[in-house]
Amino acid sequence: MRRGGAPSDRPFLTGHSEDRLCAPADADALGVRAHRDVVEPFRRLQSDARREGFELRILSGFRSFADQLSIWNRKTSGQLAVLDSDAAPLDIQRLSERELVFAILRWSALPGASRHHWGTDLDVYDSAAKPDGYEIELIPEEVEPGGMFGPLHDWLDARMASNDSFGFYRPYDEDRRGVAPERWHLSHLPVAAGYLAQLTPDVLRAVVSAADMGLKSVVLAHLDEIYERFVLNVAEPPTRYFVD
């Protein structure tokens, strides 16, 4: 497995290019667009899951800068709910601008800094366990023990612990006071690590400065803290996932 990334990757790195994504036929099969080097590992994991009675599916894969910016701006303007650490809606009128920015970042990445920009990170679920008509919310209750997707994630945990997950791991496996724990979020580490290494504060500063982004001045004023707390602050990469 290779570590993705080179200086010329900057447009792809920040969600402004799709040139590393999989072919349309693969996207149709997966149901989402993803990085071309993630397709085969995911298919292998999906096949193993099916043998255990799970239908591993992807709810969200690649997300462009424009898509992430839309989510961000709708949250800063109150059009989308901003959640507290327990995934309950907040009254944003009671928050300072800085508090609002950091509350949004608990559940939604800064545009330009989302791991979904790389197509290496996937929000997954078990379609065999989803009731007809149920709309997936991507909330803790769905994936915790006792939740409808809990058994799938217990199985995934066991596969990761035994180095049998084809390079997938959980970057947001526990609460580090940055991004809230997201058990549904898998990252294909051998590819994603190369992009994370390139995502510097200077790259983000340039992207944010050029964007029509809500609370931009607040983000720029606290960008170094945001970078440390919400970009770099992920699970330690298991070195066993890298093969030279």
pLDDT, tens digit, 9 for 90 and up, residues 148-195: 999 999 999 999 999 899 999 999 999 999 999 999 999 999 999 999
Is the distance from CB of 32 to CB of 24 less than 8 angstroms?
Answer: no
Q: Is 2 inside a domain boundary?
A: no
The whole-number pLDDT of residue 236 equals 87
Q: Tokens 């507290």 appear where? A: 84
Is the distance from CB of 40 to CB of 51 less than 8 angstroms?
Answer: no
| CATH number (domain holding residue 96) | 3.30.1380.10
Q: Which of 122, 120, 121, 124 is nearest to 35 (CA)?
A: 120
**6 φ, ψ to 5°?**
-160, 160
Low-confidence ranges of the chain (pLDDT < 50): 1-7, 242-244
Q: Is 143 inside a domain boundary?
A: yes
pLDDT, tens digit, 9 for 90 and up, residues 185-205: 999 999 999 999 999 999 999
Indicate the pTM of the whole model.
0.93
The whole-number pLDDT of residue 241 equals 55
Residue-range definition of the domain harbouring residue 167:
7-236
The DSSP code for 162 is T
Q: Is 224 inside a domain boundary?
A: yes
Look at the chain and report how many structural domains it folds into: 1
Q: Is 173 inside a domain boundary?
A: yes
